[in-house]
Amino acid sequence: MGATERLAAATSLLSSVEHLARRREHRSSRMNEWAISRDAYARYNRPFRKLLDLASDERTNRALHVGRVAASAALMLPGNGRWRGAATLYLGVSGALLYPGERYGTDGSDQASTMVQTVTGLARLAPSSRTQDALIWYVALQGNLSYLVSGWVKLLGPDWRSGAALAGVMRTRTYGHEGVWKLAHRHPRSTRALVYGVLSLECLFPVLYLKSGRLTRPVLGGAVLFHLANGYVMGLGRFLPAFAAMHPMVAYTSTPRSHPAVAGRDDTMPAAVALLAAGGAAVLGAVAVARRLRVTDTPHGGSVVTTRHGNELSVQGTLDGRSTDPVVVFVHGLGACPAYFAWIARAFGGDRPWLMYSRAGYGPSRRRADGAFTLEESVDDLVDLVDAAVPEGRQAVLMGHSLGGEISRRAAVRLGSRVNSVVYVDSSHPGQLTRSAQQGATAPRIGEGLRTMAISLRLGFGALMRTPEPVANLPEQVRDKVRMEFADPRVWTAAVREWKAVEQDFPSFTGQLDALDTHALVLSAQRTVDRDPDHLLMHKDLADAHHGDRTVRSVVIEGADHDGILTDPQYAAETLRHLLAFLADTVGRGPGAPAGLRTGTKPSGLTAASEENR
């Protein structure tokens, strides 16, 4: 415990001295930082938020850091009294209080030292050796996990497996090193061997518990060298004492009980953890099975359409024979679900006919097709769905979000006069990976993130998944079902399959979009186009592809982001307002019909500034 206390105290001392030394330089930005970060804690209870406000007050913040410097310096002194536990516990608790207001100035070393100091302080103050051993085992297991998880997450990324990631990191301004980058660039094989060595160290870290502890010193020595290199090359100097602070406890727990240094050590903790892990795995497995049954259950009143590829699409809607209005067909985006349109569908009620379906592999829909997946398979499925579910003589309005917009556009080309209009909701564009430098650069990370989610959920971690913000904003009636869908690997596995197809399909687009003789409404989320102005130009391309005397409108929904344009009730209401006005002006207008022939009413409040009419 003494070795751990001193190493963790070195981390806190460096962190707080650095903070106090640069306090005047970053005073204004630090105050603004908490004003921004505070929103992340809005759902916590009021006393806790008041405590964080107090910790982020300038005078309190300075006092906490001065106290941390004093406590850290004291812990460097010799001694074995209980006061060391109080000082270490103070460092852990104060670190946890300071983190919410300083998260942009902290890193993994601060988080690791906070955990180590809190547990070590409790261990020092614990009344029995059994409790101390249990807490020491906790830190040791956390140390193993920190390396193990880091290694296996890297191993999932193709750039790490190929060795390219190391060279990429060395090129960054924040963590890069020009000399190391040049070496990595000149000697790719040696770089790959180095990366494999690091991955082996991290992924196989727990082997130090084998061979009666004889592997402890070489493994921990390798970890120290790894952190030393990171400190020199990447500037992560605090990582060495922060993670090395766990090493004494790892060494203590990996030593055979026959060794005099650990005589009487209580090993109940790892046995209890193993038992709980086995029970937890069984519970997670049962929960996953129940969740899968719920996710794949066809909605009440729904139906199934089998497409030419043998795919079985789950469909629900309000279609009946009393109306002759075009049927609005909702087409969801990649890694999403049809319930994203729940606010729109609920507003339609039974007044306007609509259909929503899950693409093959999502929710209750099953992919039965053989061979590699392509985007044209999803286009074929949508064409077959319209032919099967929309009565002959009725037209369809294809409303697609994100990738669903591109699938809708391609299906509209094939369906011809069966489509009255296409509504693009922050839609994808086939040229986005080549025309947008930003989207082209982030594409590999998107694929890696989707694969990581799919693998994590297959391992049964869906029960630990936090509810995504778009899901939390949906109507209460659909929220639980959608939460289960996102915690099930089916959504993410389907998203991985579609994203691979996107990466193969989109780069081949070089020409103009196919001309469409349909009405069009192009809705863009302001945050999307603000972040990537090229995307607004591509949305203009979508509008320009619709020719003839048709109505074409382009609208930017102010304040909305990519998902919130449908899922946030405020922005969904604005989307609905423009959609209803568009449908009122286009329903009943066929090719060659006079522009004045309209049905329905147009909501008030629309201005020429928000529309482009042709």
Q: What is the pLDDT of residue 570?
A: 95
Residues 51-77, mean pLDDT to the nearest whole number: 90
517: amino acid identity, one letter: D
Tell me the pLDDT band of 452, cut-offs 50, 70 and 90. Answer: confident
> 489-505 vs 476-486: helix axis angle to the nearest 10?
70
Q: What is the pLDDT of residue 608?
A: 32
Residues 499-505, mean pLDDT to the nearest whole number: 95
* Whether pLDDT at 595 is above 80: no
The pairs formed by 281-290 with CB atoms below 8 angstroms and a separation of 24 or more are 281/460, 284/460, 284/461, 284/462, 284/463, 285/460, 287/462, 287/463, 288/460, 288/462, 288/463, 288/488
Task: Give the CA distances from residue 139 to residues 271, 516, 544, in Å, rounded to whole numbers and listed in that order.
Answer: 15, 63, 61
In terms of Cα–Cα distance, which of 90, 78, 73, 95 is closest to 125? 90
433 within 8 A of 531, measured Cβ to Cβ: no
In terms of Cα–Cα distance, which of 429, 611, 609 is closest to 536? 429
331 within 8 A of 398, measured Cβ to Cβ: yes
Q: What is the pLDDT of residue 605?
A: 33
Residues 124-138, mean pLDDT to the nearest whole number: 94
Q: Is 556 helix (H, G, I), strand (E, B) or coil?
A: strand
* Whether pLDDT at 326 is above 60: yes
Q: What is the pLDDT of residue 236?
A: 85
Tell me whether strands 354-357 and 419-425 are parallel, antiparallel or unpaired.
unpaired
Residues 281-294, mean pLDDT to the nearest whole number: 87
The most distant pair of C-alpha atoms in the chain lies apart, rounded to whole Å, by 96
361: alpha, beta or left, given left = phi > 0 and alpha = psi -120 to 50? Answer: left
Tell me the pLDDT band of 29, cut-offs 50, 70 and 90. Answer: low
* Whether pLDDT at 614 is above 70: no
Q: What is the pLDDT of residue 105?
A: 60
Strand order in the sheet with 519-525: 303-306, 312-317, 354-357, 327-331, 396-401, 419-425, 519-525, 552-557
Lowest mean pLDDT among 21-35, 274-288, 454-468, 567-581: 21-35
* Whether pLDDT at 376 is above 60: yes
Lowest mean pLDDT among 53-57, 113-117, 408-412, 428-432: 53-57
* Whether pLDDT at 18 is above 90: no
* Whether pLDDT at 103 is above 60: yes
**Mean pLDDT value across the chain:** 88
* Whether pLDDT at 365 is above 80: yes
Q: What is the pLDDT of residue 604?
A: 31
* Whether pLDDT at 607 is above 80: no
Q: What is the pLDDT of residue 591?
A: 40
Residues 347-355, mean pLDDT to the nearest whole number: 88
337 within 8 A of 362, measured Cβ to Cβ: yes
Report if pTM > 0.85.
Answer: no
Task: Give the CA distances from residue 320 to residues 317, 332, 340, 385, 393, in Å, rounded to whole numbers and listed in that order.
Answer: 9, 22, 23, 16, 13
Tell me the pLDDT band of 24, cut-offs 50, 70 and 90. Answer: low
Residues 318-345, mean pLDDT to the nearest whole number: 90
Ordered DSSP codes for 489-536: HHHHHHHHHHHHHHHHHGGG--SPPPPB-SEEEEEEEHHHHHH-HHHH
Residues 90-95, mean pLDDT to the nearest whole number: 94
Q: What is the pLDDT of residue 313?
A: 96
Q: What is the pLDDT of residue 527?
A: 94
Percent of the chain residues past pLDDT 90, beyond the cut: 59
Tell me the pLDDT band of 598, cut-offs 50, 70 and 90. Answer: very low
Q: What is the pLDDT of residue 28?
A: 54
Q: What is the pLDDT of residue 512?
A: 87
Question: How far apart (Å, rounded) are the C-alpha atoms in residues 314 and 297?
Answer: 9
Of residues 43 and 333, more confidently modeled: 333
Percent of the chain residues past pLDDT 70, beyond the cut: 93
Tell me the pLDDT band of 613, cut-offs 50, 70 and 90. Answer: very low
